[in-house]
Structures are given as structure tokens and as C-alpha cells.
Amino acid sequence: MKDTHLIRFRVNGREHELAVEARRTLADMLRDDLGYTGTHLGCEHGICGACTVLVDGAPARSCLMFGVQADGAEISTVEGLADGDRLSDLQQSFSDRHGLQCGFCTPGFLMLAEGYLAQRDAAGDGAEPTEAEIRDLVAANLCRCTGYQGIVEAVLATARSRWQRPGDQDTR
């Protein structure tokens, strides 16, 4: 007997209505039911962070959340970052600073950083982002290819440019 629930939520601004089994993870729901395959599963036990998405603006590991918990939520995934042909400032910064190799962990780092930078901005304490602060953030997720240097540099550069010019930041 399946324990199925009808839920409604938004992904990258688009409304979805779905009957989902109670035990189904948010990650499997996004990937297999809705086709948002940019969210990747690296460990399914909440350590690697490759499956990080934003749930109501906050980074969450979608392997540790049930789909039903997303009822009524606004979810943001990597597919929502670019504006048509134009990569977001953060995405472009990852490319410019060789912040990715195989790209499997990349969506998780992008969403982690987007969530953090938005929260930092909202807190509005005005401090300039530091390398130590960003490295501490990046240490939340695992990457097996890059040695993290390009990731730290990419997030730091984006954090600094958004901090310097809050007017033209990417707000997606």
C-alpha cells in the first residue's frame, strides 16, 4: 500500500502539482519525476552536497528531504540560474576561474553559494567578503577534481563584485 500525497510547489518559478509517495526524496522527485537532472546525487547521505538546491531561498540537501516536505515551497535548482543564453555572474565566474572539471559537484556548489550570498546580502552587515569566509562555506561540499581553489576564487570574486555593486547583482 503506497502512502501517496498530492503536493504543490514551484521549481524555478514554475508551478508543479504531483502525487508523490511519502518516502520519495526531494532529489528523486526533482530528477526522475520532473526531469530536473541538473541536481546530482553523489552520496545520498548528506555529506557531499552535490544535490544542494534552494528551498525557500535556503540551501538544502535534497537527498535528505522528502518530496512531500516541499509542499508549498519555492525550489530553485541549477537549471534556473542562467538567463537564456547568458550565464549568471556566478556561473561565468566558475568558468573563468576553472572552478569545475567533471562538473558533477558543480550544481551543488552553485546553489550553496547562491543561497549563502543571498542570505549574506539580506543580513546586510556590509562586511567585505573574505577568502577565509568563502573557504569555510565551500568546505560544506565535496569536489574530487579541482582541489577547491577555482571554486573558492569563483565564489569570492562573485561575492566581492556583488558586494561592491549591489545594484547590478544577479538576483535570480
Site residues for another protein per CB under 8 A: 21, 23-24, 28, 31-32, 36-45, 47-48, 50, 77-79, 81-82, 87, 91, 94-96, 98, 100-107, 110, 135-136, 138-152
Say which amino acid occupies 156.
Answer: L
Closest approach of another protein to the CB of residue 167, in Å: 24
Nearest distance from C-beta of residue 124 to another protein, angstroms = 26
CB of 81 to another protein, least distance (A): 7
The three cell numbers of residue 111 are 546553489
Other CB atoms within 10 Å distance of the CB of residue 50: 25
Q: Which of 165, 45, 30, 168 is nearest to 111 (CA)?
A: 30
* Closer residue to another protein, CB minimum distance, 65 or 138: 138
What lies within 8 Å, CB to CB, of 86 at 6+ separation is none
Burial 134-156 (b: 16+ CB within 10 A, else e): beebbebbebeebebebbbbbbb
d(CA 159, CA 151): 12
Nearer to another protein, 48 or 55 (CB): 48
Residue among 99 and 122 whose Cβ is closer to another protein: 99
Question: Judged by CB, which is closer to another protein: 82, or 121?
Answer: 82
Contact partners, residue 2, CB within 8 Å, separation at least 6: 21
Nearest-approach distance from CB 104 to another protein, in angstroms: 3
Judged by beta carbon, residue 83 or residue 168, the one nearer another protein is 83
In whole angstroms, the minimum distance from the beta carbon of 120 to another protein comes to 17
